Amino acid sequence: MAAIAGVIAAAGRGERLGSELPKALVELAGRPLVSWAAAALVPVCDVLVVVVPPEVGAEPFRAALAGSGVPLRLVAGGEERALSVRAGFAAAGDAEAVVVHDAARPFATPLLARACLDALADADAAIAATPLVDTVKESSDGRYVERTLDRSRLWAVQTPQAFRADALRAALALPDAVVRAATDEAALVERCGGRVRLVPASPRNFKITVRDDLELAAALAGVAASGSRE
Ligand code: CTP
Ligand code: MG
């Protein structure tokens, strides 16, 4: 079987969470978030690249991921998410497919990562997503609504996101200004004219962004959030 590389984007600062530690090292039920994220990718990958905040360095991440059972490469990230993924992809070596995942999503499963990889059979990228449940409105000034979007056509996108390596290579070779503005790498594949497939996922695969998310995750994991307000 051709090689599959996993790339975990863990180089963010976690400003909205407001913790002292980088978000990927914040613990959920006694394990750092990055280790939860790795558990979804390790069973489907031949190599795992973890992109870490340059100011933090590799060591705490190496410790957090010790014994994960797959060759591990740690590389420094960039200022924006897609620049971090570009750095991770550059360290991934000769893979046929790449699966990108956020360190901040502890509840993804190997089954979901595998479903994304399998969906590459007829796509350049395949991304975990859920149909929107809330009605979405557009506003330029944040005060008055201009219009209501057609919810039946809208999906909220998550990770894992799987890519044919050649499609991701072309996408990440777009000009820096385009890459840094992308909030996910699939958007760059779309821009290159690639076919991006939606893979239905669970809302449980939510991203830890603010403190409330960590408390919800702790409740789902059956423990109290560390330093919780109670
Ligand atoms: N990420 C990254 N490199 C960046 C920015 C983000 O690898 N320059 C990663 C984060 O580590 C995270 C994922 O992308 O796992 C999703 O980003 P987000 O939830 O926005 O995390 P942060 O950028 O860390 O949080 P914040 O925006 O609140 O600072
Ligand atoms: Mg961010």
Instruction: Give the per-residue pLDDT at 55.
Output: 95
Under the banding of pLDDT at 50, 70 and 90, the label for residue 222 is confident
Instruction: Give the per-residue pLDDT at 223.
Output: 73
The pLDDT tens digits of the residues spanning 100-119 come to: 999 999 999 999 999 999 99
Instruction: Give the per-residue pLDDT at 230.
Output: 44
Q: Is 104 in the pocket of ligand 1 (CB under 6 A)?
A: yes
Q: Is 84 in the pocket of ligand 1 (CB under 6 A)?
A: yes
**pLDDT (average), residues 3-8:** 98
Q: Is 14 in the pocket of ligand 1 (CB under 6 A)?
A: yes
Q: Which domains does the chain have, with CATH numbers?
A: 4-229 (3.90.550.10)
The pLDDT tens digits of the residues spanning 142-158 come to: 999 999 999 999 999 99
Q: Is 101 in the pocket of ligand 1 (CB under 6 A)?
A: no
Q: What is the DSSP letter of 25?
A: G
Atom number, ligand 1, closest to the C-alpha of residue 208: 19
The CA distance from 148 to 154, in Å, is: 12
- Which ligand is nearest the CA of 8, by number? 1
Q: Tell whether the model's pLDDT for residue 88 goes beyond 70.
A: yes
Q: Is 32 in the pocket of ligand 1 (CB under 6 A)?
A: no
Contacts of 140 (CB under 8 A, 6+ apart): 146
Q: Is 114 in the pocket of ligand 1 (CB under 6 A)?
A: no
Q: Is 126 in the pocket of ligand 1 (CB under 6 A)?
A: no
The CA distance from 78 to 159, in Å, is: 19
Pair type for strands 137-138 and 147-148: antiparallel
**pLDDT (average), residues 5-20:** 96
Atom number, ligand 1, closest to the C-alpha of residue 51: 7
Instruction: Give the per-residue pLDDT at 227.
Output: 53
Mutate to test the pocket of ligand 1, among 8, 21, 23 (most ligand atoms within 8 A of CB): 23
Q: Is 79 in the pocket of ligand 1 (CB under 6 A)?
A: yes
Indicate the pTM of the whole model.
0.95
**pLDDT (average), residues 201-213:** 97
Q: What is the DSSP string of 63-113?
A: HHTTT-SS-EEEEE--SSHHHHHHHHHHTS-S-SEEEEEETT-TT--HHHH
The pLDDT tens digits of the residues spanning 45-72 come to: 999 999 999 999 999 999 999 999 999 9
The alpha carbon of 229 and the centre of ligand 1 are apart by a number of angstroms equal to 24
Looking at per-residue confidence, does 32 or 230 come out higher? 32
Atom number, ligand 1, closest to the C-alpha of residue 10: 11
